[in-house]
Amino acid sequence: MDAPRIQLICFPHAGGTASFFRNWHQWAPQDWELSAVRYPGREERIAEPCPVSMAELAGQLADVLAPAMGVPTVFFGHSMGASVAHEVTALLAARGAPAPRALFVSGRAAPDRLRRMSDGELDDDELLARVAGLGGPGAELLQEPELRDLLLPPIRADYQLLDAYAAGPKAPAVDVPVTAYFGTDDPGPSPDDVRAWSELTTVGCETLAFPGGHFFLVPHERDVVRDISARLTALL
């Protein structure tokens, strides 16, 4: 089997799973290989403890991804996944390992503009209301008591990780081009917060807005994948 021309590796949002990207292959060129990372504590890795810090999560993923970077690879991360993808990119470069050729981030403020979710720890109902307010796919499942007990722990772990990350050290600028996507009605990062990703690359950054909220990706996944494809055709 021929090696793929491009490998696109996707990083899910907080509480998200690899299956969030299950439809992306139908919009991508046939000679691409699409995959998504599976964070510990969910899906097939549900028995594994959730990472307690961004450094731990990025380190685990860099260990796994480094041997898989033999073909031209790009990273895409949505929301929390954008931060994870950036941290893994910087960590691979610091190790002298092959880094992705480009970084695509979505629905996420630049690292230095991140804010804690709250001044104190939210109780379960407050956390679920915050998640439901973002309108993500499957949010209605959190209202089912049996599923709520299963889904809530990784969500809480991810938000605790993100709160600590917002107040802690961040990876430096990377030597790869960055493209930042955002929803025009996202209640989270402002357009200026997203455009500030330009400070995290030594090569160049472009931004593109889509109608919708934090999960604008769901109705616009075809448009996003095709935009990625067009940009990579010009780049590679």
Cα(60)–Cα(45) distance, integer angstroms: 13
Cα(178)–Cα(74) distance, integer angstroms: 10
Strand partners, 181: 106, 208
Cα(2)–Cα(105) distance, integer angstroms: 29
79 is catalytic: yes
β-strand 205-210 against 178-183: which pairing, if any? parallel
**Neighbouring C-beta atoms of residue 71, cutoff 10 Å:** 12
Which residue is catalytic, options 53, 79, 198, 229?
Answer: 79
Cα(194)–Cα(196) distance, integer angstroms: 5
The catalytic site residues sit at 79
